Amino acid sequence: MKKYKLNYKLLFYISILLFVICLILFQYFYQIEKQNKFEEIQSHQKLHAKQAIKSFEEMFNNWNGLLSYLTNDKKIKEMNFEGKKLINKIYDIYKNDLKGITRTDKNGIITYTIPYYPNTIGRDISKQKHMIKLLDNHKPVCSDVFKSVQGYDAIVIHYPIFKNNKYDGSLAFIFNFKNITRSILSEIKIGEKGKTWLITSEGYILYSNETFAQNKSIYQVFINDSERLLLAKKMLTGKEGEASLNHTKTGDTYLTYFVPIKILNSFWSLGISYSESEMTSSLSNFRKKLLFLFSIIFLGGIFSAYFGIKGWIIVKEESARIKAEQDAKKSETRYKSLFENINVSLFQTNINFELIKANQYFIQLFMYNENEIYKIPFGLLFNNNDDKAELKDILLKQGSIKSKELLMVKKNGDKFWASINAILLKDENENNTSILGSIRDVTERKDYIDILKKHIEDKDLLINEVFHRTKNNLQVIISMLELQSILSDDLKIQNIFSDMIKRLHVMSIAHKQLFQRDDLSKISFKKYIEEIFYYLSDYYKDKSNSIELRFDIDDFDILFDLALPCGLLFNEIVNFLIINSKDDSRINLNLISKKEEETIFIKLKSDFYLNEKDNLLNDNKFGLGLFFSLVENQLNTTIKKSFSDNFTIDFSFKENLYNERI
């Protein structure tokens, strides 16, 4: 069954992927929250600014309304007792907001002031910047911060007074702008680090929650802070806008919303800033929660992946197990069916050869019935008591038995030869569990083999006898020829006999070599030629001339029928060369024989010089010429002969001229 393993590498990659997804989602949600926070703060900024503007507008509308009313009042125009009484009363009511009220004539000379400053009456203020405008266009005017004749910094609104439609001076409220701005702006602050400032159109800081900056010029306060100075200058343009600046001291970034407040002919600019770091730190709780949430998601994801993979493995293994079981059941069913129905005697035993199971053929083979076969000892089926132990030894050593032939015994005592095949079965842990085997009755086959063996032995004996008789007959013939030659005194006749005897020896050498071969068809050509030469060397050892033979013969086998003519020709040539050479001469003979594919090439060369060619070439005589003809006819070839400079013959023939005899 296939085993699945937890793939830690896959789990690692899933974890990395999950981590990246969590990180991206974390960033996404965090940025959304941050953006929302920004927008919320920005809306707070604008809301605060609107509230402040509204407060200032309402305040100045009230002041303008009051001034408009007063400057149209006859008592004020005349500035009589009743008029002064009214002004005093007004001052008493608003003295928290007003530092004083002043009446000027048409030339810009102070005619009355409350609180009363004796030195101020009769002072000419016509050269003051706002007074120049008033005297020029006779319209209400608001000053920037300026040093009043009373001696303090002030902001003033002058309203013109007309008598009989002619300009007749002005009534001015001198504001306690510190109180005014503080009352409106002190509550406006975003966060702990948030800043609020109000500057006039000329850069005077009317209000700041940074005490060091209050009531000073921006050019004085921010002389070393170029970024804030730049922001302040943007505010002095009188337009609404947003800007961010880096606080040089803290390194913090402030995001500022600024908006102008219209006051008569002038404006003030209100700036509300908040700290980005503070805003970001205000998100820390959210960040922690989000981090916690994604940590949970990440860990949950890893656990899910881990247990998911585990679960998948369990499901796969379970599926594989179920399939393996089903296969095993099918296999078992098939095995049972095969075991019972196959036309072979099958058995299964435990490792001690106690029968577990046997099919019908096995039971029938031993002539027992099904009840008996399981009750008798398995060893009883063997003729030899030691056979069972021997089989067990073989199985334990080799794991199987192949075609072991033993004598076995049937129920009725009949013995038969059985061929046993068996294998040792093992469990998953390689422990021996049982033996499965088959038994075949081979008595009939064994009988046939014995008969065949006997036939072969008889045939061998016959062949042996034929060879023996052949060689014996050759010996008898040689003996007859030898004895016959004794009777003749004629040397020529004796030579004829001795030539015949040598030829018979050459034939007997071939017979000897043939009998030593198993195939009884071929002999070694090299060995045959060598042995002929040794025989002839021995034969002529008493002669004064000698022959030196150099062999270059491939080691190949040749049919007996082809070897014999070659051997006889070789014998004739050696005899011829020795007999026809001068005494004490040394004859040189080279024999080259090669086999290429199915053709055998033979070349024989000697430095022997031949004078009497006719003797050699006369095929009709029983001499060398006859053996040339023998070879040419029997080997179906033509011998190339050359005797002009030296003695050379050259021929070739097919090795398959004859079929193998056996």
Partner 1 sequence: MKESDKTKILIVEDEFLTAKFFEYKLKSKNFEVLKICANGKDAIESAIELKPDFILMDIRLEGHIDGIDAAKEIQKHLSTNIIFVSGYSESNFLDRLKEINYLEYFSKPLDFNKLIDLLNKNKPQKLKT
State the residues that interact with partner 1 by CB under 8 A: 464, 467-472, 474-476, 478-480, 482-483, 486, 504-505, 508, 512, 515-516, 535, 538-539, 541
Distance CA(102)–CA(120), nearest Å, equals 10
CB of 567 to partner 1, least distance (A): 15
Least Cα distance to 363 among 386, 351, 381, 350 occurs for 381
Judged by CB, which is closer to partner 1: 370, or 538? 538
Q: What DSSP string describes 568-630?
A: HHHHHHHHHHHHHSPTT-EEEEEEEEEEETTEEEEEEEE----S-HHHHH-TTSSSHHHHHHH
Residue 485 CB coordination number (10 Å): 17
Distance CA(67)–CA(172), nearest Å, equals 8
Judged by CB, which is closer to partner 1: 509, or 649? 509
CB of 540 to partner 1, least distance (A): 10
CB of 539 to partner 1, least distance (A): 6
CB of 531 to partner 1, least distance (A): 10
Judged by CB, which is closer to partner 1: 178, or 512? 512
CB of 505 to partner 1, least distance (A): 6
CB of 471 to partner 1, least distance (A): 4
Distance CA(277)–CA(253), nearest Å, equals 7
Strand order in the sheet with 400-409: 355-358, 345-350, 432-441, 415-426, 400-409
CB of 547 to partner 1, least distance (A): 16
Judged by CB, which is closer to partner 1: 85, or 469? 469
Judged by CB, which is closer to partner 1: 105, or 531? 531
| Side chain identity, residue 310 | K
How is residue 341 written in tokens?
Answer: 């129905």
Distance CA(100)–CA(293), nearest Å, equals 63
Judged by CB, which is closer to partner 1: 167, or 467? 467
Categorise residue 148: left if φ over 0, alpha if ψ from -120 to 50, beta otherwise: beta
CB of 588 to partner 1, least distance (A): 24
Q: Which residues contact 285 (CB under 8 A, 6 or more apart)?
A: none
Judged by CB, which is closer to partner 1: 158, or 502? 502
How is residue 314 written in tokens?
Answer: 């369990």
Judged by CB, which is closer to partner 1: 182, or 512? 512
CB of 412 to partner 1, least distance (A): 42
Judged by CB, which is closer to partner 1: 296, or 480? 480
Q: What DSSP string describes 315-381?
A: HHHHHHHHHHHHHHHHHHHHHHHHHHHSSSEEEEEETT--EEEE-HHHHHHTT--HHHHTTS-GGGG
Judged by CB, which is closer to partner 1: 486, or 662? 486
In contact, 271 and 257? CB cutoff 8 Å: yes
Adjacent-strand bridge partners of 549 = 589
Judged by CB, which is closer to partner 1: 234, or 503? 503
- The residue behind tokens 């940074």 is 210
- β strands within 182-252, DSSP E: 195-200, 205-208, 241-246
CB of 479 to partner 1, least distance (A): 3
Judged by CB, which is closer to partner 1: 541, or 582? 541
In contact, 353 and 436? CB cutoff 8 Å: no
CB of 590 to partner 1, least distance (A): 25
Distance CA(423)–CA(434), nearest Å, equals 9
CB of 581 to partner 1, least distance (A): 21
Judged by CB, which is closer to partner 1: 287, or 512? 512
In contact, 515 and 496? CB cutoff 8 Å: no
H-state helical runs in 198-265: 218-221, 226-235
CB of 477 to partner 1, least distance (A): 8
Backbone dihedral angles phi then psi of residue 269, each to the nearest 5 degrees: -120, 125
Least Cα distance to 134 among 110, 111, 167, 183 occurs for 167
Strands 205-208, 98-104: pairing kind: unpaired
Least Cα distance to 415 among 434, 438, 390, 387 occurs for 387
